[in-house]
Amino acid sequence: MADTTGNTQDVGAPRGSGAGPAPRRSGWRHIGPGIVVAATGVGAGDLVATLIAGGNFGYTLLWAAIVGCLVKISLAEACGRWHLSTGRTLFDGWASLGRWTTWFFAVYAVVWGFVYGAAAMSSSALPLQALFPDVMGLEWWGIACGLVGLTFVWFNKYSVFEKVMTVLVGVMFVVTVYLAVRVTPNLGDAFAGLLPVLPDEEDSVLNTLGLIGGVGGTITLAAYGYWVNAKGWTDTGWMRVMRLDNRVAYATTGVFVIAMLFVGAELLHSANIAIASGDKGLIQLGDVLEREYGTATGTLFLIGFFATSFTSLIGVWHGVSLMFADFLARQRGEREARGDELASGRRERSWAFRAYLLWLTFPPMILLFQDEPFRLIIVYGVLGAAFMPFLALTLMWLLNSSRTPREWRNGPLSNAMLAVAGLLFLVLCVKQAWDQPWSEFF
């Protein structure tokens, strides 16, 4: 597969001049952070969005799902390249752009973490309650999932975390591919869906952009560089390995997206069945699968649903906590947070890492027992939509400046991909902000 940076050089100095470390031979045995970012980035809501796209438009937007994966490859590769070529973390790079980045991240981490914590626990609880309806209520399943995630991330280092994520991704892969085969996709229509055409519907452009930008597009893309360092990859000798790992990540994401679009096109579109948006749409899909293909298929789907939701939970618990610990370390005066600090595992044992873990787990439990606070949800939605253009555009800034060694700066292709990503997410951010009920906010 072509290098999305447009820069084919694989040997260079991580900082300054002189010969860099010899490149490691890329191979499947090194794959790891990519699996983690793929599993974390694809949540239950993403699968529902793809299902609804398939249900509404059949195979028409298959091309858009694939373009979305290519956009995410460029973003994650840029994050990993920054970490490996400079030896500095992404937040250290952001901080070099001005204090505005610090304020943005601080507000984002606090508000987003509070609301996302409740959403992740609720999403993980839904399939468990469906599998074991008489054990306890949804709220208590959510609390149990949060506590299990907290305990697992608190007491385990990255290596164990990666192994568990890999197993859960295997479950997700088997379930989604099985479902795609089970619904017997029309391959002729599917190949026709590779042609870039828009559905003949109102707001088809925005729906298409939403599908391209939505699946796998969260703060976990920024966490990819942190997981690369936590794996022990800290210099440019790992660049070739990182690029293979990243491509595997979004090939895996592509399989999930295409499989669920097949299910939507064949099971929902052909039978004119509508499901709700959000996580509860997957419960409805489970009922449809059980009715059409039997209890075993419905149960298998719920297991895959849980794996999808729980990988997102523990992935955010680990990755965003690493980012928050890095943020506080720099606020305390560490002028340059180096990748070897992440590789040592000290960040995972720091009080800042564990404090953010607690923030993700306990305060959001309040939201499980009451309606979500209206104003907070609006701020959460706007901040969440603003993060992806922030990521794309700041990466362009960092990787075209003297902050990055010359041999690892953006090539024309990478600049084009990041520019497309920045514009795409900026449009979606404006739409998200425009759609909020601001008149009711004040």
Integer Cα distance of 215 and 245 in angstroms = 19
Q: What amino acid occupies position 310?
A: F
Which pLDDT score, from 0 to 100, does residue 217 have?
66
Which pLDDT score, from 0 to 100, does residue 142 have?
95
Which pLDDT score, from 0 to 100, does residue 20 have?
65
Q: Does residue 403 register a pLDDT over 50?
A: yes
Quick check: 37 and 113 in contact, CB under 8 A? no
Token duo for residue 381? 């939605």
Burial status of residue 111 (CB atoms within 10 A of its CB: 0-12, 13-18, 19 or more): middle
365 CB-side CA count, 13 A: 14
Instruction: Provide the pLDDT confidence category of residue 377 given band limits of 50, 70 and 90.
Output: confident
Which pLDDT score, from 0 to 100, does residue 206 have?
77
Please give the model's pTM, rounded to 2 decimal places.
Answer: 0.91
Which pLDDT score, from 0 to 100, does residue 337 have?
57
Region of residue 6 (left: phi > 0; alpha: psi -120 to 50; beta: else):
left
CA dihedral in degrees (107, 108, 109, 111; nearest 10)? 80
**What is the helix (H) or strand (E) element at residue 244, kind and residue range?**
helix 239-263
- For 105-153, write each residue's pLDDT tens digit: 999 999 999 999 999 999 999 999 999 998 999 999 999 999 999 999 9
Between the two ends of the chain, the Cα-to-Cα distance in Å is 51
Q: Does residue 375 register a pLDDT over 80?
A: no
Q: Does residue 272 register a pLDDT over 90?
A: no
Quick check: 424 and 209 in contact, CB under 8 A? yes
Instruction: Provide the pLDDT confidence category of residue 12 given band limits of 50, 70 and 90.
Output: very low
Q: Which of 256-260, 371-375, 405-409 has the highest mean pLDDT?
A: 405-409
Q: Which residue has the higher pLDDT, 23 or 6?
A: 23
Q: Does residue 427 register a pLDDT over 70?
A: yes
Q: Does residue 22 register a pLDDT over 90?
A: no
Mean pLDDT over each residue of the chain, to the nearest integer: 87
The DSSP output letter for 238 is G
